[in-house]
Structure 1
Amino acid sequence: MAIREVQMSNKRYPEEFKIEAVRQITDRGYSVADVSRRLGVTTHSLYAWIKKYDPEAPHFQQKADADAEIKRLQKELKRFTEERDILKKAAAYFASHPE
């Protein structure tokens, strides 16, 4: 009797890939088994990704809200940095050109 070894996959998938896989199940109505076969990932992985990335899950919404807040703050920081740089240049100009 031969003993068959089971290989564990140590593949790392990008977050976007995982989210799209979850969308195929939650939004498009495909079964977990079907998505598992088509994408070549285990059903166990898909269920874990659903738990983590399902848009209906409260923690996913919190992450999305946090990401949106980070983007808003980055945009605001960029604007303030540009304004500061303009004011520095103006101050330097007026300091070197008195009346």
Structure 2
Amino acid sequence: MCQQDRRPDVTRARSQTLAWTEVGTNLFLKHAEPLSDEDLRAPSALPGWTLKHLLAHVASNADALSNLVEWARTGVYRPYVCLRWSARSRHRAGCVLSTSTAHR
């Protein structure tokens, strides 16, 4: 068997990944969208984090992963995260999100 025969089916893997990502996104939004500002101020299971912090963290990571995908697709460098923000700054930014911005 030649090396080429062992290569994964990239087309299938890509379509499966996109479908899996869409299912996960829809599930996350289904549970996040009904939350009120009061709900978002409630503590999460993470010590010192509210639900708003948690949603901001997930949104920030989604943006960061989008940057990596864009970099891979185009070859144009896009950093994983905004390097001028520390993790603490990104965490604090979650404190100012409202329900109108937390779900975009």
Name the TM-score, length of structure 2 as normaliser: 0.28
Which has the higher relative contact order, 1 or 2, with Cα contacts under 8 A spaced 6 or more apart? Answer: 2
| Larger Rg, first or second structure (1 or 2) | 1
Structure richer in helix, relative to its length: 1
